[in-house]
Structure 1
Amino acid sequence: MDRITESVMKRYVKEAGIGARPEHQQFEAFAGSVLLRAEVGHDPESSIDDFLAGDGIQGYDLFAMVVNDELVTDVIALDEICARARTISVEFVFAQFKTSPSFKTSEFSNFSDTCRMIIEKSSSLDTQEFPASLLVSAIYDRAEMFKVNPKLSLFYVTTSGVDPELPIRRKAESSRSDIMQLSLTASVDIQFVGAAALQARWRQLDQGTTRTIRFEKKASMPQIDGVVQAYIGMLPAQELLNLVTVDGSPTRMLKSIFYDNVRDFQGNVDVNTKISETLTGSDRARFAVFNNGVTIVAQEINNTGDTFRLLDYQVVNGCQTVHVLHEAAMELGGINSLPDVFVPVKMIATSDAEVARSIAQATNQQTQVTAESLLANSEVQKRIEEYFTAVDDVDDFKLYYERRLKQWAGSSVVVGAWRMVTIRQMIRSFGAVYLNQPHTANRYYNDLRDQAGTRIFIDSNAPGLFWISALLFCRIEFLFRNDKIDAKLKPIKFHMMAGISRATLKGKTPHFKNSAAVEKYVADLRTLLASDERLIKAITIWSDGATSYSSTLVLDRDFCRTQESATKYAIAVSRRIRTEDPVLVKQR
C-alpha cells in the first residue's frame, strides 16, 4: 500500500475507532465508507458495517441498495419507502476491496460473476451464503413499481497506481454485456478504482467539493450580516448539472453535496412529476418562471467576471428540482441536452454554520421539513448539548452531540467517529432505555420519532439521562466496531441497552423522583460502562438464551417485537445481570 493511501486510512481508522481490526478489514471499512459517501450519499446514521459482507462471504465485500435515493438496509425500510411512493427507482451497488497494488483479472472475474449470479438467481440463493440476495429478491418482488429497471454499479477497488490492463477491461465489457442480456437492469456501470481515485474521493469528502462554473445572468444581493457574498440570477441547466454530478461521470449525482438539505429526493411524487413534465414538454423554456429555484451555500466563492469558483458548497434548497432536472437531461441525451433551460439560483458564501443552517431552514419552509430538523433548535436540545460539553474527559467518555447535521464535520476536537451522537440516535437510545420501547427503536423509528416532542425532548427529562443513554449506545457500538462482541447481536442492540440499564435500577422501570436519583443512576451506569470486562460480561449474560424470546429463533429485528415481550425479556435479563455482576451484587 502506498504511503498516501496508508496515511489517510490510518486517520480514518483512528476516527472510526477500529484500530483493533486487521489491516484488510480496516481497508474495507475505509474504502467502503469513502465509496458510499462519495458515490451514493452514505447515510450518516448508518454504520459502514451495515453494508460490509464480512470475511465469511465470498465474491463481494460490500453491497448497498438505494431506493428513491435512500440507502436501504432491510426489508422493513424498503416497505416503508414503497408505502409512500407510487413508483421506485433502484440502484444496486456492489464492491470488492483488495489491498494489493494491482488489478487482477481473476479476482475481478470472480467478483463480477458473483454479482451476475445474485442479480439473476436472487430468489433461489442461500441468504446466509449470499446475504445481498435477500434485498435483491425483495426488490424484484416489487417490480410492478419500477419506473425503469434497477441500475447496477460495480466497483473493484485496489491500491494500484496504474490503470487496469486490456484483459481485465475486456472482461468488464463481457460482464456488462452478459448482465444486460438478462433484461433485469437498465444499466451496468463498472468502475476500477485505484489509489489515486480513492485518494481523490477522500479529499473531496474531507475538504469539500470545489467546482468552477459560468454564471452570467446574475446580480449581487445587498450586504447581509454573516454573509460574505450573495448572488441571485438565472443559471443554465448545464452549469447547474456540472455542479451536482460526479466529476467525469455526469450520469451520477454527487450525493455528498446534499447532506445539509432538509429532505432527500422524494421520487415521483406529484410536485416532481410536474417538474418533469415541464422539462420534457413544450413549455420547458419557461421553466425559469415556473420553478422556485435552487439555493447553494458555499464556504467561499471566488469570482472573476462571470467565472465563479465555489469551495465546499452544499445544495440547501431545491433537491427535488436538481434531481428531476438530472433525470430529464439523462433521458434526453446528457447534461448538455437542455440548452434552453435556465434555473433560478441563489449563491451564498458564508463560513458561519448558524447562518448556513438558518438559510436552509428558511428556504425550505414551503417543503416537508424533517422532524429532526425542527427539533434541532429547541431549548431542550441546546441544554442537552451544553450537558455533553460540560462532561469532563475522565474515563475517555467524552461525547459530542450533533444536534445540527455535520455540526462536527472536519473538527479536530472530535477523535473517534463513534463519539458523535445524532438526534436520530438520541431518540432511539432514549426511547429504548427510558420509554421502555426497544422494539420500537429497533423496527418502527418513525413511531418513536413522533413522540419526540411530547415524551422525549421535554423539560422534565434531565439532560443527564440523554447523555448516559448516548454513552450506553456509543460504548456498545465501540465494542462492535472492534469485534469485542459478536456482530450477530447488532440487530437487537436496543433491547440490550434496555436490559443493561434496568440492571442498575434493580430491574425496575426507569423512574426518578428527583435529581439526586438521576445522578445516582447516571453514576452507577457510568461505572459499569467504564469497564470493558463488566460490560462484555453483561452483554454475554444478556445474549444467552436470547433466541428463545424470538419468534423466528433468529436474532434479527423481529426479536421481541411487542411491548409485552420486550419488557418481559428486559426484566428477566436485568435480574440475571444483577446476580452475576460483582458490583451490582453488593448493591442489592
Structure 2
Amino acid sequence: MNPVIRAQLKEFAKANSITADAQERQFEIYSIFSILAGLLGESIDAYDVHLSGDEFGVDGIAVIIQGEAVKNKHEAEEKLSAINNPSIEFIFFQSKTSTSYDYGDISKFFDAVSAFFDGELKGESPAIDDLMGAMEAIYERGVGKRNPKLSCYYITTGNYEKPARIEKLRNSFKSDLDEKNIFDNGNISVEFVGARELQQWYRAATSAVEVEIDFPRNVVMPTNSHVDEAYVGYIDARNLLKLCSLKDQNGSVIGVNKAVFFDNIRDYDAKSKINAGIKSGVRSGGGAEFVFRNNGITVVSKNIDRTGDKFRLEDFQIVNGCQTSNVIFDLVYGDDSGCQNGDISLAESIQVPFRLIGSKNDDFVSSIIVGTNRQNPVRDDQFWALRPFMKSFEEYCRGLDKEEAIYFERRDNQYRNQDVERTRVMQPSVLMKAVAACLLFQPQRAARDYRGILSEYENSIFLDDHDVRIYHAVAYLYYRLEFLWRNQRISNEYKTFRYYILSGIGLRISGNNNILSMKKAKIASIAESIIALCNDEDALKSAVEHIVSVVEARLSEMNVVTQERIRDTIRSESFSGMFRDRLMASEIA
C-alpha cells in the first residue's frame, strides 16, 4: 500500500475507534470519509454509509436528502415530508486496497449500482434492503423540480491512466444510467479515484482551510471584546472564488467547496428566474452594478494574518452568502463548463460587498451566524444548541479525563480540524435522541420524532439549573455503545434496538422513576452508576444482551420477522409500553 495512504489510514483508524478492524475494512471507511468530507464537504458519518457485510459489488451507499443521509424508507419519508423540492443524491462506493483497476471488479460495481435501482439487489443484505426502501420512497413521493443526482466512486491505491477498455465500459455504463431517465440531466458522475486524490481529500477533510486573498478596499470595523480584528469593504469575484472553490491536486478548480459554508448550498437552482436574471444582467452589462445590488458575503475566520492588503485566512467559514457565491461561480466558470477554464476578466470586473471578522469566540461566531441567516431556514437543533446550559455542558464534557471526555459540537464542524477522537464528537440532534430514550424513556419516538419531543419537553430538559453530569452520562453511554459496535464487540444487528438499549439502561438504573424530577443528589448518583456501567465492558455487554432479549422475545411472540416490520413495530407506543413493563418485571424477578 502507498506509504502516505498507510500513514493516513493509521491516523484515521485511531481517531474513529476502528483499529481492531481488518485493514481492508479500515480502507473502505477511510476512502468514503475522504470523498464525503474532503471532496464533497458533507458532514455525514462515513461509518454509517459503509456496508459492513459482503454485499455484491459495493462497499458503501449514501442516500442524501437535503444534506442528511437517510438509511431507510421511514427516514426518507420523514425528510421528504418536511422539505419542498429537496436536493437528493445517491452516492455509491467501491474500494480496493490494490493498485490496479480490475475490469471484472469494476463491472461488478457497475452491475450493483444498476441492480440497486432495478430492484434486483433486494435481499442482498438488510442494510441494502433498507436503502432500497429509501430509494423507493423518493421516487414514489416524487422528487420535486429536479431528479436526484448520482455519483459513483471506484477507489484504489494506484493511479488511473484511462485504459481504453475501462473508459469504454464507463461510457457504456453512463449511457445505460442516462436511459433510465430517473437522474438529473447532466448530473451522473462515474469517477475512478487513486492515491493522489485520496491523500489530498483526506488532508482537506482533516486540516484547517487556509487561503490568501487581496482585500485592498477595506475599512477597519469598530473594536469589540469578542473580535480580534474585523474589516468591511468589497473584493473582486476573483478573490471571492479563492475562498469558495474546490481544487484538484493540480490546482485546477473542480467545483464549489461546500465545506467552507456554514449552511451548505442545497436549494440553489441555477435556472431559477432570480438567479438566471442576475446572470443575464451581468453577462449583458458587465459586473459593474453587482456591488450595488447584492447584500454581500460575511466570512468569519479563526486566524487572520494581514500583510498590507493581503489577508491570509485560516479555519474560516462563509456564514452568509452561499447563493451569491454560487451565482458568481456559475458566471465565471459557466453553468456546465466542468470548471476547466474560468472567465478571469469577468471575475475581476465583479465587485462584491465583503465583511471579514476574526474571532475565536464560538458564542459570538454563533450569534453572527444566526443574525446573518434570519432570512434562511435554520435547524431547530442549531438554535437550542446555543442555550446557556449547552455551553456549560460542552465545557464540562471536554474538560474531563481523556477516557470520559465527550466533544459536544454546538456549532457544525466545530471540532472538524482538531485532534480529537471522532467517535467522541456528538452533534446536538444525537444528544437529543439519546436523552429522549435514556432519560425520558421514549425509545419509540427518539429516532423519528426527537423534534416533537424537544417541543413537548422544552421546559423540562437542558435547563440552566440542571446537573450537566446526567447529560454527560447519557452522551458517554451513547459513545461507549458506538465504540463496542465499531469494534464488533456487540452484534451490529442490535443497532436496530439502539434506543431501546439506551432506554432500558435508564429504566434499570433509575428503577423506572422520572430521573429529571429527582433530587440533585439522586440524579448525580444515577449519573455515576451509568458511567460505572460504561466503564465495565462485560457488565455493559451483559446489560445490552438482556435488554435486547426482552425486545426480541416480544417480537417473536408477535411473529414479527422482517426488518421493515420490526422497525414499524418498535416505533409504536404499545410496544414501548410493553417493553417497559416486561423489562421492569424481569428486574424484579
Say yes or no: TM over 0.5.
yes
SS in structure 2 of the partner of residue 95 of structure 1: strand
CA positional deviation for 1:334: 6.5
**Pairwise CA distance, 1:198:** 0.7
Amino acid across the alignment from 1:558: D
C-alpha deviation, 1:358, in angstroms: 4.1
Q: 1:507 to 1:455 in 2, by over 3 A?
A: closer
* Contact 2:550 2:583 (C-alpha < 8 Å) held by counterparts: no
Aligned pair 1:573/2:574, yes or no? no
Matched to 1:122, the amino acid is G
**1:470 paired to 2:475:** yes
- Please, which runs of 5 or more residues in structure 1 have no aligned partner? 580-588
1:108 aligns with 2:140: no
SS of the residue aligned with 1:443? coil
**2:495 is aligned with 1:490:** yes
Is contact 2:56-2:124 (8 Å) kept? no
Equivalent pair of 1:302/1:309 in contact (CA under 8 Å)? yes
Residues 559, 32 of structure 1: alpha-carbon distance in 2 compared, 3 angstrom cutoff: farther
Q: Deviations over 1:181-214 (max 9, x none)?
A: 3333223212222112111111112222334556
What's the CA shift for 1:497? 0.6
CA distance in 1, matches of 2:79, 2:268: 12
Q: Map 1:89-488 to 2 at 5 A.
A: 89-119=87-117, 121-122=118-119, 125-126=122-123, 128=125, 130-131=128-129, 132-143=131-142, 145-161=143-159, 163-185=161-183, 186=185, 187-212=187-212, 219=219, 221=221, 225=225, 227=227, 229-237=229-237, 239-248=239-248, 252-258=255-261, 261=262, 263-265=263-265, 267=267, 275-282=274-281, 286-301=289-304, 309-323=312-326, 331=335, 333=337, 336=342, 342-389=351-398, 391-392=400-401, 396-412=403-419, 414=420, 416-451=421-456, 453-459=458-464, 461-488=466-493
Counterpart-to-counterpart distance in 2, 1:307 and 1:165: 44
Choose 541-550 or 21-30, whichever is displaced more: 541-550
CA distance in 2, matches of 1:408, 1:4: 24
User: Does the CA contact (< 8 Å) of 1:226 and 1:355 recur in 2?
Assistant: yes
| 2:21 match | 21
Q: Is 1:563 equivalent to 2:573 in the alignment? A: yes
Q: Which moved more, 1:403-412 or 1:564-573?
A: 403-412
Where structure 2 has 5 or more consecutive residues not aligned to the other structure, the ranges are none
| 347 and 409 in structure 1: CA distance in 2 versus 1, 3 angstrom threshold | same
Instruction: Give the Å deviation of 1:316.
Output: 1.2
Q: 2: CA distance between counterparts of 1:513 and 1:325?
A: 57
Counterpart-to-counterpart distance in 1, 2:224 and 2:512: 56
> Contact 1:502/1:509 (CA < 8 Å) preserved in 2?
no
Distance 1:529 1:225, change over 3 A: closer
CA 1:51–1:453 in 2, change beyond 3 Å: closer, same or farther?
same
CA deviations 1:321-374 (Å, max 9, x no partner) are 434655777547566477675433223344554554443333234444433333
1:513-568 alpha-carbon deviations (Å, 9 max, x no partner): 32221232223232222221111122112222524655854455434223342132
Change (3 A) 1:207 1:507: same
Task: Report the CA distance between 1:34 and its aligned residue.
Answer: 1.7
TM-score by length of 2: 0.85
SS of 1:504's equivalent in the other structure is helix
Shift of 1:127: 6.3
Residue type of the alignment partner of 1:562: S
- Give the stretch that moved more between structures: 313-322 or 13-22: 313-322
Greater mean deviation of Cα atoms: 432-441 or 169-178: 169-178
Query: Which AA in structure 2 matches 1:374?
Result: F
CA distance in 2, matches of 1:350, 1:421: 23
Q: 1:4 to 1:331 in 2, by over 3 A?
A: closer
Comparing 345-354 and 489-498, the one that deviates more: 345-354
Secondary structure, counterpart of 1:454 in structure 2: coil
Q: Secondary structure at the match of 2:191?
A: strand
Deviation at 1:125, TM superposition (A): 4.0
The letter of the residue matching 1:39 is: L
1:236–1:341 CA contact under 8 A, matched in 2: yes
Give, in whole Å, the separation in 2 of the partners of 1:24 and 1:575.
45
In structure 2, give the amino acid aligned to 1:347: L
Corresponding pairs, count: 567
Segment of structure 1 superposing worse, 512-521 or 532-541: 512-521
Q: AA paired with 2:125?
A: Q
Does residue 527 of the first structure (1) align with residue 532 of the second (2)? yes
Higher alpha-carbon deviation: 64-73 or 25-34 = 64-73
Equivalent position SS for 2:64? strand
Structure 2 residue aligned with 1:586: none
More off after superposition, 235-244 vs 23-32: 235-244
User: Partners in 1 of 2:457 and 2:247 — Cα distance?
Assistant: 40
Alpha-carbon distance in structure 1 between the residues aligned to 2:167 and 2:65:
29
Provide the C-alpha distance between the structure 2 equivalents of 1:408 and 1:563, rounded to a whole number of angstroms.
Answer: 37
Identity in percent: 26
Contact 2:38/2:201, CA 8 A, preserved across alignment: yes
Q: Matches of 1:325 and 1:67 in 2, distance apart?
A: 25
- The separation in 1 between residues aligned to 2:464 and 2:215, in whole angstroms, is 49
Shift in alpha-carbon separation, 1:511–1:184, aligned structure 2, 3 A: closer
Q: How far apart are 1:222 and its partner, in Å?
A: 5.3
Q: CA RMSD in A?
A: 3.4
> How far has the Cα of 1:281 moved from its partner?
4.8
Counterparts of 2:588 and 2:15 in 1: how far apart (Å)?
A: 34
